[in-house]
Amino acid sequence: MEEEAYGAALQYFTGSKDHNIKLRSLAIDKGWKLNEYGLFKKDLTEVVARGTEEDIYKALGLKIMPPELREDRGEIEASLKGNLPELIELKNIKGDLHVHTVASDGNATMEEFAWACKKRGYEYLGITDHSYGLRVTDGLSAERLRGNIDIAHNVAKRVDGLKILIGAEVEILEDGSLDYPGDVLRELDFVVGAVHSKFNMESDAMTKRILTAISNDYLTILAHPTGRRLEQREPYFIDLEKVMLAAKAAGVCLELNAFPERMDLNDVNCRMAKEIGVKIAIDTDSHNVPQLDNMFFGVATARRGWLEKGDVLNTLSLKELVSFLST
């Protein structure tokens, strides 16, 4: 019984060790003691707060904060100043801008994805089949890419209330050029660029390669910017800060790829992106319909990186997105 009553207070230990140490030192500054049973006057004779986690934060002069923030990365200082971020939520996501259909290496048709996105309440779906250069994925020739545009027109007639945007996941070649010419890229609603080859370049060369891609007028989103695959491949060498600064200047977004094996950008990268002011697109890189659910993991990582709704491209309404894409 006694244990149960203290249960809520125990939750503040969901913070990292360093977060909890800071909470304790705030308590000490006030002449109190914070332990796993609650917040007490120093000699433990009187309870200051222990009903709920919120009571304890409040007594310490802090606003309750989501567990994702409790890592001693400035959240306590931000709370004291009243500057805590309002973290993005899954319900803020209005669409997915990285999806592969049967036209390249996906396992579902555009129409199947469209219905699934409509069911999720999305306003738009961005189709990004692979470009020609990635032969192993049956990458699309310019002619087949135009075929995708025709399919989109047909699907749009059947799936009303969902806008299908036709893009492509275009190879960033070794010299930083994209493997469709400008006149093809111009026909697309948006362009996702990605590195899928020559991962072992030196940092300077890889950074230059990506910066060249970012300077391409047609690039909208840099996909999986560090190339890591958990348990399979380390991130490639890249000066991410330089990349982010260039992306911000060029109005290019960086992707937080929600595919569980990728999850790049990671939380620390997201925080850097936020500080630099470059916009993030959280996309699933789905190759089948159930993978659309991976958006949850992307949003979870974004939250650990302090991202708010306004930091994320695909929280924009369709109207706002179309206006962003036209600039």
Residues interacting with Zn ion, by CB under 5 A? Answer: 169, 194, 285
CB of 134 to Zn ion, least distance (A): 8
CB of 288 to Zn ion, least distance (A): 12
Shorter beta-carbon distance to Zn ion: residue 79 or 291? 291
Shorter beta-carbon distance to Zn ion: residue 75 or 171? 171
Shorter beta-carbon distance to Zn ion: residue 42 or 233? 233
- For residue 46, count CB atoms less than 10 angstroms from its CB and return exposed for 0-12, middle for 13-18, buried for 19 or more: exposed
Give which of 264, 171, 263 is closest to 210, Cα–Cα.
171
Distance between CA atoms of residues 33 and 113, nearest Å: 55
CB of 223 to Zn ion, least distance (A): 5
Shorter beta-carbon distance to Zn ion: residue 87 or 192? 192
301 and 263 Cβ atoms separated by less than 8 Å: yes
CB of 140 to Zn ion, least distance (A): 13
Shorter beta-carbon distance to Zn ion: residue 271 or 287? 287
Shorter beta-carbon distance to Zn ion: residue 63 or 229? 229
Greatest Cα-to-Cα distance within the chain, rounded to the nearest angstrom: 79
> What residues have CB less than 8 Å from 6, skipping those under 6 apart?
36, 37, 38, 50
CB of 113 to Zn ion, least distance (A): 13
CB of 257 to Zn ion, least distance (A): 8
Distance between CA atoms of residues 311 and 313, nearest Å: 7
287 and 106 Cβ atoms separated by less than 8 Å: yes
Shorter beta-carbon distance to Zn ion: residue 194 or 214? 194
The angle subtended at Cα 251 by Cα 182 and Cα 225, nearest 5°, is 85
Q: What is the separation of C-alpha 322 from the centre of its chain, rounded to a whole number of angstroms?
A: 20
CB of 28 to Zn ion, least distance (A): 50
Q: Are strands 38-41 and 32-35 parallel, antiparallel or unpaired?
A: antiparallel
Distance between CA atoms of residues 176 and 48, nearest Å: 60
